[in-house]
Chain A
């Protein structure tokens, strides 16, 4: 009987999520994939053709004749962009392909906005079409002194760290109050990023309004998850490890549902970047805005946890849930609030991420391990710890690029995670008994 109940509530959860998607898209799921602003190739390809394509633009003007070298799975071809700046390569089989922009083929005075990224991976293991982006900007191809490079990396690290902190606080609060390691947290971020794409890039709503809608959506996904999945499981007295594996299953379901609805290519959430120069650092308005929003949000969360009654109750539940319950705190209500807040914060992080780095169905899942690393580094279950951990991870990821190949920067942060566990398993700020 309790099984039937859980099953019903699971059904409700998926029905709710399905309804949400259906309402947002109006009709056919594949519509969203088709509506993406992809250039129409002059050659027509078969329905099942495997394509790598993209557009090379300098600000808003398409750039012709930029050469791209596509290799992988025994395939090797160089193509040049057409007059509209587009290129399309048909590849023979599924798999990952390396796309290199040949920097020498760029017109004079034009360079990559991120001069380090000359390679991109096009992943055609699951999807049939992959989009590859090389944003151009003013030529920054000058060898910078190490000090300036360091400044640039530190700035990027701060940016990424703040972003991760906003996303990681949700994980940390949920772990603190319920003990759950939520592997489906990344998908909440993906939802935030992809719906920013829908409302901002596709529908053209003002960004403030988009932020409100996306956060409300995130809050709702948090609420729905807790109401229809996690609370029933807590009532069944499911073990924490058991719930952790359930969250993995849930994450896979949501991820592939998003893939079906949105398609596999990277979505251009934000196509226009206004550059801002701060000494040696060239950044964008979106990055600066994102950092400001993150700082305000983090301060807000800190005030919420320390100054408000609900915030204090949240910390009491994290500290000792039975004791908190015995002093009259409604633990279930606090947990529900935590899920709602976590959902909204994570969706906001998704928006900020998408506005700077674009988004795909895998975005959240790729960040998930960085978030876990942040939370574990800081000490599981403390919000302050998560913030500190996230900043450390942000810096490690960006600074590692000074000494390591770029495609290893995520690996570097995960290595740091393993090393910290070796030396100080309770995390930088954690209390020792939490690991017992």
Chain B
């Protein structure tokens, strides 16, 4: 069955891209340049032949022409770029704190270098690799269970016929997003408590035994996942619904004419339309894999579940490497974010190849 696409599929048959490649074809035969500018069998690098120089001059002129053509675009980019430069790149030198012994009075530039000392201390901490693994595992589980939840929910909400019902559902499901983890942990503790927690009361009345959920390791990660879904799934539907509502009606109608049932429509109209946004959100989530949800874990964990629930962020905090130890804090962040960036780029490439759409 054919996929029903809006007139242009997200990202793929982008005429801009086609146009630019057409322009490229006209200017420079890329492959031939490469093959000519190579090393000779004896290892000497040939000098660039005259036709290459000319074609590069041509492409440079093409680029200048494009810049000129796009001058308004550059103007439109300017405020954002300026803000990034001023507020993100100017302070960027602060990253060096991770490699320095920071003295408040001397400033960052005046503080002495200590190289990888901070990293050695952190990576040498007794439980570091255990909590690192915990962080990754928990985030992987969240990727598998928490990530799809708002997508599924949004699709189901989209299928609702009654506008009033849909509106009501929309208005209610986002509410838990605003409740802080402190409050949620109180609610969860009350629900799962061994004495008169609701769940245990029900269990007992059904003839079972009470289970101390909060202090057994095997329940902690599921608790993290379920509470996160509870808190964030509703809010997460907003962006997917925003995309879903732009799907033109005719696509559904055309699918029906072709004999697609509800499931078929979802598979061939709804999901393809969501591919780009899902890919984007997925890539961004993967790009956050080494950073855990500090607030959530801090408020829900306890010494009995440290071995499965302790994440990098809470461990560092507990062992006293947070406050005042700027170098250490920055070093941990650097460690985490370097891995994150690599993961993001990998996910981006994968997404580009599999779905054709990606972050950039």
Question: Are A and B associated in one complex?
Answer: no
Seen from chain B, the residues whose Cβ lies within 8 Å of a Cβ on chain A are none
